[in-house]
Amino acid sequence: MTFLIKNLVTINLLIINFCAKFSKGDFELIIFHTGCIHARYEETFEPRTGKNYGGVDRMAHLLKDAREQYKSGEGPPVLYLDSGDIFSGSIWFSVHSYHGVAKILNALQPDAFNIGAHEFDVNIEGLVNFTNLAKFPIVSTNLIFHAEQELERNIKPSVVKVVDGYKVGILGYILPEMILWSEKGNVEVLDVISALKTECLRLRAQDVNVIIALSYGNFEIDKTIASAVYFIDVIIGTGSRTFLWNGVPPDLEVPVDSYPSRITRRDGSLALVAHSDMYLKYAGKINLRFTNDGTIKSFFGSPILMDSKILQDADMGALIEELRKDVLWYDQKVLSTCSVFLEGATCHYEECNFGNLIMDAIIESRASKYQGPGWTDAAIALMNSASLTTNVNSPQNDNKIFYGDIMRALPYSEMLYIVEIKGSDLLFVLEVSTAGLDASKSNQFLLMAGLKVMFDFKSSFGERVKLVKVRCAECDIPEYFRLDLDKRYKVIITSYLLKGGSGFTIIRDVVWNPVSIGERDTDVMIQYLQKVKYVIPEVGGRLIPYDKRLEESSFSFRSNLYCYCFLLVFMNFVIWLLK
């Protein structure tokens, strides 16, 4: 009798599954998505509005509420997808590294997590350890791990989720130019479109009709990929800090396209591309309806502004407080002293004293270890201004600079490289940088050391940089000379600039012989302050507004001294003649 009952149950299940396969109707799905969180676990204060936004506790509340509605039959099934770059970007990551990320994501339980560029910040060993801690699927379709067996075991080309009886395939990819050779070790990065097509065909052979791709790269390229790879229904992207919206935006961000962006391919099929900006100020949310064969029938959605209207989950809040204990220790440890305000907020569009201090520290770090002719081999340093994220009000703290101040100000901890740049290319890089001298338009302006640049912002692009003076390197006494367009200069830059970040793709394309100096900007700054103990950085001399009377003159004190001596001799000669 027991055997008969078991067989009847099995037969009934087979009948149910067979009927379900041929009687399925439309399939509904909600996708929540995030990316570029950059370890901003707690809410972030926005000085332009005076409000707090984001926080993983708010994200946890949204997910918990939507998942409970599905379980109770009051809502459709939910997928939570993260496109990458939760590593780096705050003091929380500087203190807790991948351990903290694993704890946060294990609590959020994404249905898939894609590997972004900053996930390589902890090198291959750290990435392996992170994937071992993860209790959620990690995907990357165009990464080949070769001898990295643990990564090959922990990171899959795709994952298939069965949602209400439907198979949903989730892929992941990263653009090859987003990873430097020194970061990826033995990991090979394949061509994105070829890798995606191959994996999509494999999934379709397994009756997977709905395919979602998680992207780390660029919004425009995501749209190109959506057009080229026919089996992909939705691309969830990050990496380009893109804000999408329908209608009037709820806050300061200006949308570049509708949400989600709609792509109609040559065969008439539809694909959607969605991004959700960064730092969890917005959480993406798309409601989708698919037909039985996986075709998108309808969709609607909008990013959710993560302000005070969104509740904060208590369990996640408790986890943040647990992690905060170690962060507070760095906020109480004195690093150096400074009796002036360190201005970092305005560095995005003008010369600032905090930016000058950081760039001088980078130059000093290299010079102190240099052995060769002159005082250094690299007298110029460049950094994108977005790498510096905050001010330090030392006078308010009894003229103290704490370790936590620097870790917050330089949260990305970028690796430093020495590269060679031809003078003509350096001139164009500086020209691109002037696009950031308008506070309302861009954050592309470069922080610099070893350069004095005269610019005319009223001129059209291509004619703004009027004069550039370059500090000599292999010389006995540092001084400034006019930029030689044909000379190669050794310049220290960050790994982010080397990848062409913040719109500086020109740097990625024109540099020679990039060599890592084995140190990160945060470490260099901390070491400098430990050594100096007291700093009073100033503003002046690196960016000089255009004055035609000064265009042909020199910024070099020595050259001016020579001119003065010449004039003095000439005047004495004239006086002698008059006698």
Total number of domains in the chain = 2
pLDDT higher than threshold 70 for residue 6: no
CA angle (203, 209, 210) in 5-degree steps: 100
The predicted-structure confidence for 260-272, as pLDDT tens digits, reads as follows 999 999 999 999 9
CATH code for the domain of 498: 3.90.780.10
3-state secondary structure of 282: strand
**Taking the alpha carbons of 403, 405, 408, 413 in that order, is the dihedral positive or negative?**
negative
Domain finish residue from 322, 349, 382: 322
Instruction: Determine contact, residues 451/470, Cβ cutoff 8 Å.
Output: yes
* CA–CA dist 494, 500 (Å, integer): 10
Average pLDDT over residues 132-146: 97
Domain that holds residue 51: 24-322
- Do residues 311 and 373 both lie within one domain? no
Between β-strands 451-455 and 465-471, what pairing exists: parallel, antiparallel or unpaired?
antiparallel
- Do residues 74 and 127 both lie within one domain? yes
- Do residues 318 and 384 both lie within one domain? no
Residue percentage of the chain with pLDDT more than 70: 89
pLDDT higher than threshold 60 for residue 10: no
Question: What integer pLDDT is reported at residue 239 of this predicted model?
Answer: 85
* CA–CA dist 360, 414 (Å, integer): 16
3-state secondary structure of 189: strand
Burial tier of 549 (Cβ tally within 10 Å: 0-12, 13-18, 19+): exposed
Q: Looking at the domain assignment, is residue 513 inside a domain? A: yes
Question: What integer pLDDT is reported at residue 578 of this predicted model?
Answer: 58
What backbone phi and psi angles, to 5 degrees, belong to 114? Answer: -100, 145
Strands (E) across 217-303 are located at 234-238, 261-264, 270-275, 282-290, 296-301
- Do residues 379 and 344 both lie within one domain? yes
pLDDT band for 23, please (50, 70, 90 cuts): very low
3-state secondary structure of 103: helix
Q: Looking at the domain assignment, is residue 83 inside a domain? A: yes
Q: Looking at the domain assignment, is residue 431 inside a domain? A: yes
Q: List Cβ neighbours of 450 (8 Å cut-off, separation of 6 or more).
A: 363, 379, 380, 381, 470, 471
Question: What integer pLDDT is reported at residue 147 of this predicted model?
Answer: 86
For every residue of 455-492, DSSP letters joined together read E-TTSPTTS-EEEEEEE-SSSSS--EEE--TTSEEEEE
- Do residues 171 and 228 both lie within one domain? yes
Q: Looking at the domain assignment, is residue 253 inside a domain? A: yes
- Do residues 212 and 231 both lie within one domain? yes
Question: What integer pLDDT is reported at residue 436 of this predicted model?
Answer: 61
Question: What integer pLDDT is reported at residue 179 of this predicted model?
Answer: 87
- Do residues 363 and 299 both lie within one domain? no
Domain finish residue from 291, 322, 353: 322
Residue 382: its H or E element: strand 380-384
Q: List Cβ neighbours of 229 (8 Å cut-off, separation of 6 or more).
A: 193, 196, 197, 200, 213
Instruction: Determine contact, residues 406/526, Cβ cutoff 8 Å.
Output: yes
Give long-range contacts, CB 8 A cutoff, 24+ apart: 46-50: 46/252, 46/281, 47/345, 48/252, 49/251, 49/252
pLDDT band for 410, please (50, 70, 90 cuts): very high
pLDDT band for 398, please (50, 70, 90 cuts): very high
pLDDT higher than threshold 60 for residue 9: no
Query: What's the mean per-residue pLDDT of the chain?
Result: 89
Instruction: Determine contact, residues 105/80, Cβ cutoff 8 Å.
Output: no
What backbone phi and psi angles, to 5 degrees, belong to 161? Answer: -110, 130
Q: Looking at the domain assignment, is residue 9 inside a domain? A: no
pLDDT band for 557, please (50, 70, 90 cuts): very low
CATH code for the domain of 308: 3.60.21.10
Largest CA distance in the chain: 136
- Do residues 264 and 384 both lie within one domain? no
Residue percentage of the chain with pLDDT more than 90: 77
Instruction: Determine contact, residues 342/95, Cβ cutoff 8 Å.
Output: no
pLDDT higher than threshold 60 for residue 560: no
Beta bridge partners of residue 262, listed in sequence order = 272
Q: Looking at the domain assignment, is residue 577 inside a domain? A: no
Q: Looking at the domain assignment, is residue 296 inside a domain? A: yes
Please state the length of the chain.
579
- Do residues 351 and 262 both lie within one domain? no
Instruction: Determine contact, residues 470/491, Cβ cutoff 8 Å.
Output: no
Q: Looking at the domain assignment, is residue 18 inside a domain? A: no
- Do residues 302 and 351 both lie within one domain? no
DSSP-assigned letter for residue 392? B
Q: List Cβ neighbours of 363 (8 Å cut-off, separation of 6 or more).
A: 376, 378, 379, 381, 449, 450, 492
- Do residues 229 and 178 both lie within one domain? yes
The predicted-structure confidence for 66-120, as pLDDT tens digits, reads as follows 999 999 999 999 999 999 999 999 999 999 999 999 999 999 999 999 999 999 9
What backbone phi and psi angles, to 5 degrees, belong to 525? Answer: -65, -40
- Do residues 287 and 378 both lie within one domain? no
Quickly count: other Cβ atoms within 10 Å of residue 547's Cβ.
Answer: 12
Half-sphere exposure of 474 (CA within 13 A, CB side): 7
